[in-house]
C-alpha cells in the first residue's frame, strides 16, 4: 500500500505531519537515497526513508491518558529544564502531548507517538469537545453566565460554549466552580474568556477530552488507551 511521504513520517512517530512537511520542503528527507522535496510523493513499505540522516523504522504506536499534575510543561523538552508531561510516562517511544495544558492546569492530557492522530485531534476544525472545571475568584454573575453562553469575543473570534454550569458557589469565600465545555483549542482560552469578564481562574482542571474522562486516575497517574478508544478518536477525522 502506498501513502504520502509526510503521512509515513508522521506515522513513524518522528514528527507531526506539519513538521514532516517542513522537513521535506527543507530537503531533509531522502527516499531510496535521493532527496525528495515534493509533498505529495507516494511511498510504500519497501521504500527506504531517511529523515535528517535517520533511517525510519515503523514504530509501534502507543497512546496514554494522563492526569496531568500542576507544575509540569506540556512539551517533550523544556528550555528551562522544568518537569515535562513526557517525564511522567515510562516508555522508550518518542511520545508527545496532544495539544497542551498550561503549567498550572491539571487534568486530562493524551500523549502518543501517533502524529496522524495528533493532527486529527488538534486540527481547528476537528471540534473535539473539552470540558474544564474552573475555580473563579468571584461568584459568577448570571449576567456574565449568559454572556459566556452567547459567546464572548476573544481576539475578534467568538468562543463557542457547548455547555456551561455553575457547580458550586461559596458565597462566604466569594468563589465558585464552573463546568464549561468548548470545542476550540486556542492557548489559555478558558483563562482569557473569564479574564475578559473580570474573573480570575484560580484553578483549572480538564475533566473530559473527546469523550474520554479521568476515571479514577489520581494526579500524575496514567493509563494506556484501549483499541476501541483509539478507534473512537479517529472518528474526529474530517
**Given the rule CB under 6 A, which residues bind ligand URA?**
101-102, 105, 188-191, 204
> Catalytic residue numbers?
102
Using DSSP, how many helices (H) and how many strands (E) does the chain show? 6, 17
The Cα–Cα gap between 66 and 224 comes to: 9
Q: How far is the CB of 24 from ligand URA (least distance, A)?
A: 31
Tell me the longest C-alpha to C-alpha distance in the chain.
Answer: 70
Do the beta carbons of residue 161 and residue 194 sit within 8 Å? no
Q: How many Å apart are CA 86 and CA 234, to the nearest integer?
A: 22
Of 28 and 185, which has the nearer Cβ to ligand URA? 185
Looking at the Cβ atoms of 50 and 184, the one nearer to ligand URA is: 184
d(CA 196, CA 12): 42
Classify residue 59 by its DSSP letter. Answer: P
- The least CB distance from residue 69 to ligand URA, in Å, is 13
Q: What are the E-state strand segments in 69-200?
A: 96-97, 106-112, 130-136, 153-154, 157-158, 161-170, 175-182
In angstroms, what is the minimal distance from the CB of 107 to ligand URA?
8
* Residue carrying C-alpha cell 501513502: 3
Give, as one character, the DSSP assignment of residue 139: P
Tell me how far CA of residue 11 lies from CA of 71, 91, 96, 128, in angstroms.
30, 17, 13, 21
Interatomic CA distance for residues 238 and 235, integer angstroms: 8
The answer to whether residues 182 and 161 touch, using CB atoms and an 8 Å cutoff, is yes
Comparison of 106 and 119: residue with beta carbon closer to ligand URA: 106
- The residue (of 47 and 179) whose beta carbon lies closer to ligand URA is 179
Least distance in angstroms from the C-beta of 193 to ligand URA: 8
Q: The C-alpha cell of 200 is what? A: 480570575
What's the min distance (Å) between Cβ of 127 and ligand URA? 16
Amino acid at each position: 500500500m502506498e501513502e504520502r511521504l509526510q503521512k509515513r513520517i508522521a506515522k513513524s512517530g518522528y514528527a507531526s505531519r506539519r513538521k514532516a512537511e517542513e522537513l521535506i520542503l527543507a530537503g531533509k528527507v531522502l527516499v531510496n537515497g535521493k532527496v525528495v522535496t515534493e509533498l505529495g510523493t507516494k511511498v510504500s513499505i519497501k521504500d527506504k526513508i531517511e529523515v535528517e540522516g535517520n533511517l525510519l523504522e515503523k514504530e509501534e504506536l502507543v497512546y496514554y491518558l494522563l492526569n496531568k499534575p500542576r507544575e509540569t510543561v506540556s512539551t517533550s523538552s523544556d528550555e528551562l529544564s522544568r518537569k515535562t508531561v513526557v517525564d511522567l510516562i515510562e516508555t522508550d517511544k518518542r511520545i508527545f502531548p496532544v495539544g497542551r495544558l498550561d503549567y498550572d492546569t491539571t487534568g486530562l492530557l493524551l500523549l502518543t507517538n501517533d502524529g496522524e492522530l495528533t493532527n486529527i485531534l488538534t486540527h481547528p476544525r476537528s471540534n473535539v469537545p473539552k470540558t474544564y472545571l474552573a475555580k473563579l475568584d468571584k461568584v459568577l454573575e448570571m449576567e456574565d453566565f449568559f454572556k459566556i453562553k452567547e459567546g464572548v469575543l476573544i481576539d475578534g473570534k467568538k468562543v463557542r460554549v457547548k455547555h456551561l454550569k455553575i457547580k458550586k458557589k461559596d458565597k462566604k469565600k466569594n468563589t465558585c466552580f464552573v463546568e464549561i465545555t468548548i470545542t476550540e483549542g486556542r492557548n489559555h482560552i478558558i483563562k482569557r474568556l473569564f479574564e475578559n469578564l473580570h474573573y480570575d481562574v484560580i484553578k483549572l482542571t480538564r475533566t473530559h477530552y473527546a469523550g474520554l474522562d479521568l476515571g479514577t486516575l489520581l494526579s500524575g497517574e496514567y493509563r494506556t488507551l484501549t483499541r476501541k478508544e483509539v478507534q473512537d478518536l479517529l472518528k474526529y477525522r474530517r
